[in-house]
Amino acid sequence: MRTVKAGYEIIDELENKNVIKKLEKIARLCYKSENKIIEDSCYNFISGIVRRKHEAMIEHAVFAFEFDCYLGCSILDLDVGLLKFINFTSGVGDEFIVSGNARAFKDIYRVDSKNVAINSILYFLCNKYPVLFEDIEPRRIKGDTAENEEVRDFRMLGCNEICGLPTALRLDHQYLTVKFIVDRGVSHEIVRHRLAAYAQESTRYCNYSNDKFSGSITLIHSECLTEFQRKRREDYFWKTQELYDLEISEGLTPQIARGILPTALKTEIVVTANLREWRHILKLRTAKTAHPQMREVMIPLLKELKTKIPVIFDDIEISE
């Protein structure tokens, strides 16, 4: 049995240069198989994830597009119900900005493959990131390019362009991915935030009796405990470890043996959300009413974001 400190890491603030590598890093966290990452392993791995329909992982690949008015307006022809996972706003001038993740665009396409804006997005993404879209084949339809005089081209916005948008547009179209190392209790609170994508270390697939984990469960100790209370908990956790190992040695699978594991078990969880949702999360989870172990990671994260993107986060007050 080991203990580690809680923490966080901003995986990818603004860069979207290698989306497939980013997805591999995130999805492998579920199985704790990051040691298998090599030069080009991401393509086969993510292809397998998509084929197995583990599409929640591709929610961490987020894209923003600028459309001219005509093409952008065709988004409004979609059923309102299909729009719930994409963001759609007017741009600075006549144009429209649409952002969302690979899964959201794919799901809309599956229901309405005729929509000209969605078809254009999917055609573009399929060519740029084929591994994410092997199971669909959008046509290049007349009207989505300069072939049609009425329609100017649409384009994907780069990170720098998104950062250069007015604040109100950045809130909706700029996304941030953060990895947290926390206990299972805190992670359970994090996933209550609905407007985000998640990937979490799996107690179903990770076998903590294995050599990969040095045959040891890992725990997060609360800073709120006295030394005496820490020791007392440790005695209890050793017994938990023994029982977990025993059940595994008796042939139970990790997903069944996990029933014995405590809430203090260390977990890793990746969260991707737009800046509007991060503001909401950070306001709630840094407040005095939030769990102390939640504040332990959210307050430093907010401080870092205040430095990195002050225009978005500066007004959120921290009550220490």
Ligand X SMILES: Cc1cc2nc3c(=O)[nH]c(=O)nc-3n(C[C@H](O)[C@H](O)[C@H](O)COP(=O)(O)OP(=O)(O)OC[C@H]3O[C@@H](n4cnc5c(N)ncnc54)[C@H](O)[C@@H]3O)c2cc1C
Nearer to ligand X, 54 or 280 (CB): 280
In the complex, the smallest distance separating the C-beta of residue 122 from ligand X, rounded to whole angstroms, is 26
Residue type, 54: H
For position 171 contacting ligand X by CB under 6 A, the verdict is no
Could you tell me the smallest distance in angstroms from the CB atom of residue 280 to ligand X? 5
Cα distance between residue 258 and residue 217, in whole Å: 11
| CB-based contacts of 142, cutoff 8 Å, min separation 6 | 148
Q: Report the distance separating Cα 126 and Cα 122, nearest Å.
A: 6
Determine which residue in the list 280, 304, 306, 316 makes contact with ligand X, applying CB under 6 A. Answer: 280
Side-chain half-sphere of 126: how many Cα atoms within 13 Å? Answer: 17
Q: Is 193 in the site for ligand X (CB under 6 A)?
A: yes
Query: What is the C-alpha to C-alpha distance for residues 63 and 19, in angstroms, rounded to an integer?
Result: 10
Cα 298 to its chain centre, rounded Å, is 16
Beta strands in 93-215 (DSSP E): 96-101, 155-156, 175-183, 197-200
DSSP state of 230: H
Q: Which stretch binds ligand X (CB under 6 A): 219-227, 229-237, 260-268, 282-290?
A: 282-290
Kindly write out the interface string for residues 77-116 of this chain, putting x where it contacts ligand X by CB under 6 A and - elsewhere. Answer: ----------------------------------------
Calpha distance 262→183 (Å, rounded): 9
Could you tell me the two tokens for 57?
A: 């992982």
Smallest separation, CB 279 to ligand X (Å): 10
Which listed range, 137-145, 167-175, 190-198, 230-238, lies at the site for ligand X (CB under 6 A)?
190-198
A 10 A CB-CB count for 285 gives 21
Q: Report in angstroms how near the CB of residue 82 gets to ligand X at its nearest.
A: 17
Q: Which stretch binds ligand X (CB under 6 A): 107-115, 146-154, 215-223, 276-284?
A: 276-284
Cβ contact 115:123 at 8 Å: no
CA dist 7 and 199 (Å) reads: 16
The footprint of ligand X on residues 287-306 (CB under 6 A) is: 289-290
Q: State which residue, 116 or 269, has the beta carbon closest to ligand X.
A: 269
279 as an active site residue: the answer is: no
Amino acid sitting at position 203: T
β partners of residue 177 = 12, 272
Stretch that binds ligand X, among 122-130, 137-145, 211-219, 277-285 (CB under 6 A): 277-285
Given 69, 78, 156, 195, the residue binding ligand X (CB under 6 A): 195
Q: Which is nearer to ligand X, 96 or 198 (CB)?
A: 198
Q: How far apart are CB 276 and ligand X at their closest, in Å?
A: 8
Of 184, 258, 279, 285, the active-site residue reads: 285
Rounded to whole angstroms, how far apart are CA atoms 210 and 244? 12
Q: Binding to ligand X by residue 192, rule CB under 6 A?
A: yes
Give the range of 9-17, 37-45, 141-149, 187-195 binding ligand X by CB under 6 A: 187-195
Residue 188 engages ligand X in binding (rule: CB under 6 A)? no
Q: With contact defined as beta carbons under 8 Å apart, do 117 and 67 qualify? A: yes
CA 190, distance to chain mean position in Å, is: 12
For the bound state, the minimum distance from the C-beta of residue 196 to ligand X, rounded and expressed in Å, comes to: 7
Interface with ligand X (CB under 6 A): 192-195, 277, 280, 284, 289-290
Residues with a catalytic annotation lie at 285
